[in-house]
């Protein structure tokens, strides 16, 4: 701290000297040709200008050094001991600021004001979009599983045959018990309460509805667990793929090595591809990790080497194809982050929809090339195949994320002074 204080005092002295040099130079330039005064020597002007430039460079370097050290030490917050920001917005019921307080902001004040008003639109939009994508994606996945179950029930009564058999046995036992209870009541002249069966033995519609209801109840816990794993799979894929390029892009921007003003007719494909390669690899490991955890959960964490080998033999190709899924997601995120300030809301949202469609097509192809041929045929009442159903399930979270991400960036852009 002593070194920082010494550097700060030195900076104050240099700024004062710089001010004196500017004032002296301005007086010399204004004195030429007035009241017969001789014009200042050109060599003196150049010497003064040279001194001015040198002192300005020193002041600039010291200012940057002090500010950077204090900024990092204060956890990227600004503390002004000398009260650089003296002006505050008037409170409710107070008069506006006086004229002398409405002077233009100095460069230091502008810098501090910019930092204090800094809002990281990309990171905040990413967090909100992830939350929306996970919640709505889980709901959509659960609903499509429910709808698929209804189509199975409508197409084949055999899916709830076990519930029908158990129900008929219950009804028969209840009727037999009621008959015995009625006979005992007549013999003993009593009126014991007799429980009625769920359905009449002759009411086929009632028995069918009750069997379907019981079948649905048995399927609900399975759907909830499957929905959780599917949402975790897609969510982790989006989280890791996009978060990596988001952080890497911010680092490149701070290093002034990332351009956001590129044109679509000069699409920087190689630049975006180089940034997205690691996201593709991360997506492969994320997919494998979730499926490995799912298998471990199913066997109560008593995994055997044979089970692990079988998992990667059966699904290894599917895991590897997630490399392309990670590339598409990272490409989409980079394009949306780079161009949302230069495009209208419509075009930004359209970009997210286009990339979502590309992602859906790629996932459909990945399923077709890996385990699509092993899928059972769709129920007769279904509107689409099980391969299409699985494609929807894998795409709900990414689609909702990209759509919300584009919308949130456009919303936060409204309050950004740099927005175009």
- For 420, the token pair is 């175009």
Cβ-based neighbours of 386, under 8 Å, separated by 6 or more: 148, 375, 376, 377, 378
Backbone angles phi, psi at 257, to 5 degrees: -120, 20
Provide the residue range defining the domain that includes 15.
Answer: 2-31+38-79+101-116
> What does the buried/exposed string (b/e) look like for 307-336 if buried means 16 or more CB atoms within 10 Å of the residue's CB?
eeeebeeebeebbebbbbbbbbbbbbbbbb
Tell whether 109 and 128 lie within a shared domain. no
DSSP annotation string for 285-301: HHHHHHHHHHHHHHTTT
Cβ-based neighbours of 189, under 8 Å, separated by 6 or more: none
- Asked if the structure places residue 295 within a domain, the reply is yes
pLDDT single digits (tens) 156-198: 888 999 999 999 998 888 888 877 776 665 555 555 556 677 8
- Asked if the structure places residue 269 within a domain, the reply is yes
pLDDT single digits (tens) 101-141: 556 666 566 666 666 666 678 889 999 999 999 999 999 99
Tokens 């008929």 correspond to what residue?
168
Tell whether 398 and 263 lie within a shared domain. yes
Which DSSP helix (H) or strand (E) runs through 167? helix 161-188
Tell whether 60 and 144 lie within a shared domain. no
- Asked if the structure places residue 194 within a domain, the reply is no
Cβ-based neighbours of 46, under 8 Å, separated by 6 or more: none
Tell whether 72 and 144 lie within a shared domain. no
CA atoms within 13 A on the CB side of 389: 20
Tell whether 53 and 14 lie within a shared domain. yes
pLDDT of residue 48 exceeding 80: no
**What pLDDT does residue 193 have?**
56
Ranges assigned E (strand) in 1-131 = none
């Amino acid at each position: 701290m002593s070194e920082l204080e010494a550097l700060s005092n030195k900076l104050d002295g240099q700024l004062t000297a710089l001010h004196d040099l500017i004032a002296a130079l301005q007086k010399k330039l204004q004195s030429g040709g007035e009241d017969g005064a001789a014009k200042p020597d050109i060599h003196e002007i150049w010497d003064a200008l040279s001194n001015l430039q040198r002192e300005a460079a020193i002041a600039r370097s010291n200012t940057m050094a002090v500010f950077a050290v204090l900024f990092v030490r204060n956890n990227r917050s600004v503390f002004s001991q000398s009260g650089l920001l003296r002006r505050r917005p008037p409170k409710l019921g107070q008069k506006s600021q006086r004229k002398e307080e409405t002077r233009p902001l100095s460069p230091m004040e502008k810098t501090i004001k910019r930092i204090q008003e800094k809002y990281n639109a990309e990171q905040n939009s990413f967090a909100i979009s992830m939350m929306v994508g996970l919640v709505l994606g889980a709901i959509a996945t659960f609903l499509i599983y429910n709808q698929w179950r209804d189509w199975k029930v409508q197409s084949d009564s055999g899916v709830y045959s076990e519930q029908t058999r158990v129900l008929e046995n219950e009804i028969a036992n209840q009727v037999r018990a009621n008959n015995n209870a009625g006979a005992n009541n007549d013999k003993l002249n009593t009126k014991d309460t007799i429980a009625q069966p769920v359905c009449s033995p002759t009411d086929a519609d009632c028995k069918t509805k009750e069997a379907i209801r019981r079948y649905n109840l048995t399927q609900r816990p399975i759907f909830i667990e499957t929905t959780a794993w599917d949402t975790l799979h897609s969510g982790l894929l989006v989280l890791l793929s996009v978060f990596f390029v988001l952080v890497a892009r911010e680092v490149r921007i701070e290093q002034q090595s990332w351009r956001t003003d590129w044109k679509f007719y000069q699409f920087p494909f190689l630049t975006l591809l180089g940034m997205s390669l690691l996201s593709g690899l991360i997506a492969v490991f994320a997919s494998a990790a979730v499926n490995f955890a799912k298998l471990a959960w199913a066997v109560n964490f008593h995994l055997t080497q044979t089970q692990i080998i079988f998992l990667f033999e059966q699904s290894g190709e599917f895991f590897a194809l997630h490399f392309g899924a990670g590339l598409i997601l990272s490409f989409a995120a980079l394009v949306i982050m780079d161009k949302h300030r230069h495009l209208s809301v419509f075009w930004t949202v359209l970009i997210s929809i286009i990339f979502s469609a590309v992602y859906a097509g790629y996932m459909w192809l990945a399923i077709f090339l890996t385990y699509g041929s092993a899928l059972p045929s769709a129920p007769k009442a279904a509107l689409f195949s099980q391969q299409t159903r699985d494609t929807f399930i894998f795409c709900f979270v990414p689609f909702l994320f990209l759509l919300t991400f584009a919308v949130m960036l456009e919303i936060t852009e409204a309050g950004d002074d740099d927005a175009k």
